[in-house]
């Protein structure tokens, strides 16, 4: 019986180079479809309990504002991703959020506020989102005590 190529002892040769090419293409593909923006979550924030909260499954681009509460000073500290914000720079923060949103109509502003934080400090973050033209704002909370 006539046979195709291969080694002289009847064993087919295993080509490694094409497999490496395919693996590199897959690696580049998966790197390009994952979100370039990684949300910087502040682990020191104790989230409030939201028993009836629903998990968002959409993967829309998001800006994250962490609001931590300093009990000693009675003030909130704001961070956009991992950069501390000056709460008095309303226009600058709104400009930055608007630039991040761009023309993306699915852009979402995610607010993670400490459960000890007063509502008037959280409303500042809502103002910034409104000034930036962001109409999709979500709050982060826990669905159980644990």
Q: Is the pLDDT of residue 11 over 80?
A: no
Bridge-partner residues for 69, per DSSP? Answer: 76
The burial of 113, by beta-carbon neighbours within 10 Å (0-12 exposed, 13-18 middle, 19 or more buried), is given as buried
Q: Provide the strand spans (E) within the chain.
A: 62-70, 75-80, 83-84, 108-113, 137-139
pLDDT tens, position by position, 60-107: 667 888 999 988 888 899 998 778 999 999 899 999 999 988 888 888
Domains defined for the chain, CATH in brackets: 62-139 (3.30.420.270)
Residue 27, both tokens: 């690696």
**Contact of 113 with 43, CB cutoff 8 Å:** no
Instruction: Work out the pLDDT band at 4, boundaries 50, 70, 90.
Output: low
């Amino acid at each position: 019986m006539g046979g195709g190529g291969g080694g002289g002892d009847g064993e087919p040769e295993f080509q490694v180079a094409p497999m490496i090419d395919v693996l590199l293409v897959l690696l580049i593909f998966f790197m390009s479809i994952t979100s370039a923006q990684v949300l910087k979550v502040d682990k020191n924030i104790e989230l409030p309990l939201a028993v009836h909260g629903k998990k968002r499954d959409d993967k829309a681009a998001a800006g994250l504002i962490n609001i931590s509460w300093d009990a000693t000073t009675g003030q909130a500290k704001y961070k956009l991703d991992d950069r501390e914000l000056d709460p008095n720079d309303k226009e600058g923060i709104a400009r930055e959020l608007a630039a991040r949103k761009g023309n993306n109509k699915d852009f979402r502003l995610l607010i993670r506020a400490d459960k000890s934080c007063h509502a008037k400090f959280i409303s500042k973050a809502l103002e910034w989102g409104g000034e930036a033209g962001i109409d999709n704002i979500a709050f982060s909370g826990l669905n159980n005590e644990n």
